[in-house]
A and B are shown apart, each in its own frame.
Chain A
């Protein structure tokens, strides 16, 4: 079973500590919600996991081996990263954009096979962008583009998906669609780390939450443990209303403290 982890990593930028001796891991079969206030280090942690962020100390490893000692393309086949506010600089058609997700599976001069196209069309369908297949991605609305970008990441068929705020800017129906899709991916055996701000959706979908605050893991575990009044007060500086419906926890922020 594949596992992506960081062990005791520290990252600082211009003297400011972003992550401090932090350890975190994700296995296949886990849907982990990474939550925390702005500037807590969520994106930096995701970038460190994906190998984009150089760490000052500690290790980043995949399948027990250091990530930077492994073949780049081989890791890219197994670990996909969906950037926050991901965008395309050229007006590529949606299907060509999603096909970029197959790139780690193709050799330098190899053309996409019928199977690659099938996977691309399937992921476009599950992300509800198939109807835009031939449209330039730049002509889609923000939410539609976000779904196209998710389709691109899913087209890789990764073992681990690192998604930075994939539901930000989506309407409620598509937020649920995306979370359902991530859950499905996990059911199929992948591991997913998803950065998000909607605590109720995080509580409902994720089987583990990790709360980051000032570059450290403040709390980790199931929703009931992590989303405590004490934690929300300390990390977000808010007072929240907690409720339960059909055995599912929901959180409504009430006052800023």
Chain B
């Protein structure tokens, strides 16, 4: 029997190794793709170059921040999706469940609406992060201190709906067609034209939030047996709830604030990976983070390669490929549970 235990540990290590390798490949692909047509070898040279050549500027200042954001945001969405699904014990949960994505989007849209976003590059993401914090604070006030996962979901739905309505209102009242177009395009989600300023602003929150969520593995494992049993296994449910809310708000809030609403990554990735980790929530967390990074980086490569005359937005692409994957998962589950 111990042999078996050893074996699962080994296959988990193998999985993590494969996912890490794929993440690295996806990252390099993301750095290699763009209209400038720089070859991978030249790209690597330009990445490390200290001379201000055109290639170096393109790779270091345009592609590197884009790839880094893809890595960070993909990982945050994958991780937080897995954590939320584990916390509410529902495979349909997604990272924005507690209202954080919709509120972040609203905060960012408000800065566009009032023309503030044009003043400094950091104002829009800052507005998004502020929106996320306010939205989640409202959600917590609605849910109450002793709330179960179910009241949390309901309060999250309420906040998301309200934020969605206010975002629509901003579109409705937009002062001119340009600002409504800007709002719509921003809402679709993209990593294009992001700079290191976006990274400096968002990365600390994304990373701190992810670190907090990564500490919850064991608690999420015991929550597989429900809240009562988890509590009698020594888990402090209040602290778990607070940590997951803070962690998801910081990382998904910051991710949405810089890249817009990118759907389906946090929903689909945990599903795809779950069977490979024996459905254990603790093991799903890091694996899902890597899976999210891989999916988002490759999606961002794809939107640059598909030429439709206008740039295909990343959020549109993830939804387009996410839906069939999700349908396939549903069909497989239906087959499994009949």
Contact = CB atoms under 8 A, between A and B. Distances in A.
Contacts of B274: 90
Interface in A148-162: 152, 156
A142 to B, nearest CB: 16
Contacts of B280: 90, 92, 96
Interface string B278-311: 1111000000000000000000000000000000
B14 interface: no
Interface stretch (B65-73, B134-142, B178-186, B232-240): B232-240
A88 B232 contact: no
B228 A52 contact: yes
Interface stretch (B121-129, B196-204, B214-222): B214-222
Interface stretch (B1-9, B29-37, B55-63, B169-177): B1-9
B4 A91 contact: no
Given A103-B233, A108-B215, A93 B228 contact: no
Contacts of A133: 1, 4
A35 to B, nearest CB: 22
A189 interface: no
A167 to B, nearest CB: 18
Given A75-B234, A91-B279, A92-B279, A103 B228 contact: no
Given A88-B225, A89-B224, A51 B232 contact: yes
A89 B5 CA distance: 22
Most A C-beta atoms less than 10 A away, residue of B2, B229, B280: B229
Interface residues of A, number: 40
Contacts of B233: 76, 100-101, 103-104, 156
Interface stretch (A3-11, A78-86, A170-178, A223-231): A78-86
B221 A50 contact: no
A80 B278 contact: no
Given A92-B278, A92-B279, A108-B218, A52 B2 contact: no
Contact of A100 (B222, B228, B236): B222
Interface in A56-110: 72-77, 79-81, 83, 86-93, 95-97, 100-101, 103-104, 106, 108
B112 to A, nearest CB: 41
Contacts of A80: 232
Most B C-beta atoms less than 10 A away, residue of A74, A101, A112: A101
B144 interface: no
A108 B221 CA distance: 12
B231 interface: yes
Interface in B226-257: 226, 228-229, 231-236
A47 interface: yes
Given A83-B228, A92-B279, A104-B234, A117 B5 contact: yes
Given A90-B89, A96-B280, A103-B218, 4 more contacts: A81-B228, A81-B232, A86-B229, A133-B1
17 contacts: A50-B232, A51-B232, A52-B231, A52-B232, A72-B236, A76-B232, A83-B228, A83-B229, A89-B224, A92-B279, A95-B1, A96-B278, A103-B222, A104-B233, A104-B234, A108-B218, A133-B1
Interface of B: 1-2, 4-5, 89, 215, 218, 221-226, 228-229, 231-236, 274, 278-281
Give the top 10 A-B pairs by smallest Cβ distance, nearest first: A76-B234, A73-B234, A89-B89, A81-B232, A90-B279, A104-B234, A103-B233, A72-B234, A90-B224, A91-B279
